[in-house]
């Protein structure tokens, strides 16, 4: 039932669902005793959902939708294994519990669609990157951002090891090659049956060329994400020399990734990616300012709403902490404002983000300090 967030979840939540759609977010804690308050806060938010539902639906209809939310409240095993945040979604025929690597503000919303803005900030592409763990024993591929890193399942046809890749073309002595790691960082002692250093390098180069080709074809081109190489020091120069991947970052992690925990790998990767992220965000903000001077961008809510319904928004910057009560008619672009201060009212910014993504636009959720405007949103038009 519980899982971490991925793009398939986002696609599912953005799909059309029969209302009402229930969205609940709250910060959680990983350790005792802080996590003892988490179930209590969850039950308080659940009461907010219930009150909102009963204002619009019968007691029986509300109870059916809330049953699985209530079951979660009493699941002691779950509450002892949470992360930093929690998102729970429910609608007719759907119930999802997602643990989050980032704390999120408390929110309980009953609306015609799910509230997804907090998820966008976690999985948005402008922060994301991939890490290629490369050894002779095998490759692994990860995708993540500043808060999370997950291993990807390699597609069929992607070679895992040098033996699998080269097969009968592998130099014979390699079949009995063993490796032992010395005390010096990155030191490797090769022992074999008389194979020369030249043969080792030839096999490694052929292996790395194929790895580079399939990673580019299966992952880098489709995702457009920066790629970080994590490998022993002696492999970096060779891999970079033969690589044709334009998304391979100039700096890498010079250690066998298998020697790191997932959090250690994420921390090292984000240190490499963050300057690039800041540069791309600055570039996007500059493009917004230039487009606005030509009438091809706006930070006015009504203008963004109309353009989103027409499929004209290419990029949308949204302020992470801003909440504008109301809802959007995605077909017409009309907005309906609501009274502020109500926890259970949907967010216009969230509705706009959903509308833009459904029309193929890109949404970037950023903190207030990174926003180029004070209205909470900035849109760049395609035309």
DSSP 322: -
Question: 125-276 architecture in CATH?
Answer: 2-Layer Sandwich (3.30)
The residue ranges of every structural domain in the chain are: 2-115, 125-276, 295-381
Return d(Cα 26, Cα 346) in angstroms, integer: 16
Q: Rounded to an integer, what distance in angstroms lies between the CA atom of residue 10 and that of residue 92?
A: 17
Kind and range of the H or E run holding 41: helix 38-56
Computed over every residue of the chain, the mean pLDDT equals 86
What is the average per-residue pLDDT within 134-146?
A: 90
Q: Choose among 250, 281, 284, 272: nearest CA to 379.
A: 284
Q: Which of 131, 130, 135 is nearest to 232 (CA)?
A: 135
Question: Is 151:193 a contact under the CB 8 Å cutoff?
Answer: no
Architecture of domain 295-381: 2-Layer Sandwich (3.30)
In this predicted model, what pLDDT tens digit does every residue of 214-270 receive, in sequence order?
999 989 998 889 999 999 999 999 999 999 999 999 999 999 999 999 999 999 999
Which single residue is written with the structure tokens 């002892």? 80
Show the tokens assigned to 14: 């953005």
- Percentage with pLDDT > 90 across the chain: 59
In this prediction, residue 197 has a pLDDT band, given cuts at 50, 70 and 90, of low
Helix, strand or coil for residue 273? helix
pLDDT bin (cut points 50, 70, 90) of residue 188 is very low
Helix axes 197-215, 233-242, angle to 10 degrees: 60
Q: Decide if 236 contacts 254 (C-beta within 8 A).
A: yes
**pLDDT at position 347:** 86
At the top level of CATH, the class of 2-115 is alpha beta
Give the confidence band of 166 by pLDDT, cuts at 50, 70, 90: low
CB neighbours (10 Å) of residue 181?
13
- C-alpha span between 236 and 230 (Å, rounded): 8
| Cα 300 to Cα 304: distance, rounded to the nearest angstrom | 6
Asked if residue 253 lies in contact with residue 272, where contact means CB atoms within 8 angstroms, the answer is yes
The pLDDT tens digits of the residues spanning 48-64 come to 999 999 888 888 888 88
Lowest-pLDDT range of 22-31, 70-79, 326-335: 326-335
| Band of residue 88 on the pLDDT scale cut at 50, 70, 90 | very high
Amino acid 191: pLDDT:
45
Cis omega before residue 115 (within 30°)?
Answer: no
């Amino acid at each position: 039932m519980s899982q971490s967030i991925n793009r398939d979840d986002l696609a599912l939540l953005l799909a059309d669902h029969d209302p009402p759609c229930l969205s609940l977010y709250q910060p959680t804690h990983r350790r005792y005793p802080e996590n003892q308050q988490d179930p209590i806060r969850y039950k308080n938010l659940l009461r907010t959902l219930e009150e909102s539902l009963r204002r619009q639906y019968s007691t029986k209809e509300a109870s059916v939708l809330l049953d699985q939310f209530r079951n979660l409240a009493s699941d002691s095993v779950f509450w002892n294994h949470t992360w930093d945040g929690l998102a729970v979604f429910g609608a007719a025929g759907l119930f999802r519990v997602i643990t989050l690597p980032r704390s999120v503000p408390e929110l309980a919303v009953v609306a015609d669609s799910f509230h997804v803005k907090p998820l966008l900030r976690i999985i948005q592409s402008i922060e994301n990157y991939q890490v290629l763990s490369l050894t002779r024993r095998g490759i692994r591929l990860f995708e993540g951002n500043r808060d999370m890193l997950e291993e990807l399942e390699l597609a069929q046809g992607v070679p895992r090891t040098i033996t699998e890749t080269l097969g009968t073309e592998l130099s014979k002595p390699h079949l009995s090659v063993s490796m032992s790691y010395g005390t010096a960082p990155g030191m490797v002692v090769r022992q074999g049956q008389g194979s020369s250093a030249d043969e080792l390098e030839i096999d490694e180069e052929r292996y790395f060329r194929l790895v580079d080709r399939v990673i580019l074809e299966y992952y880098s081109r489709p995702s457009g994400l920066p790629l970080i190489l994590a490998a022993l020091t002696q492999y970096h120069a060779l891999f970079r020399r033969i690589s044709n991947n334009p998304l391979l970052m100039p700096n890498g992690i010079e250690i066998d990734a298998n020697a790191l925990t997932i959090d250690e790998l994420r921390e090292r990767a984000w240190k490499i990616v963050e300057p690039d992220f800041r540069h791309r965000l600055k570039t996007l903000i500059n493009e917004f300012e230039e487009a606005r001077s030509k009438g091809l961008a706006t930070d006015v809510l009504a203008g963004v709403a109309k353009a989103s319904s027409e499929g004209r928004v290419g990029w949308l910057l949204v302020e992470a902490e801003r909440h504008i009560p109301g809802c959007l008619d995605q077909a017409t672009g009309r907005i309906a404002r609501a009274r502020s201060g109500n926890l259970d009212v949907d967010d216009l910014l969230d509705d706009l983000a959903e509308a833009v993504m459904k029309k193929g636009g890109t949404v970037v959720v950023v903190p207030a300090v990174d926003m180029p405007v004070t209205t909470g949103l900035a849109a760049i038009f395609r035309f």
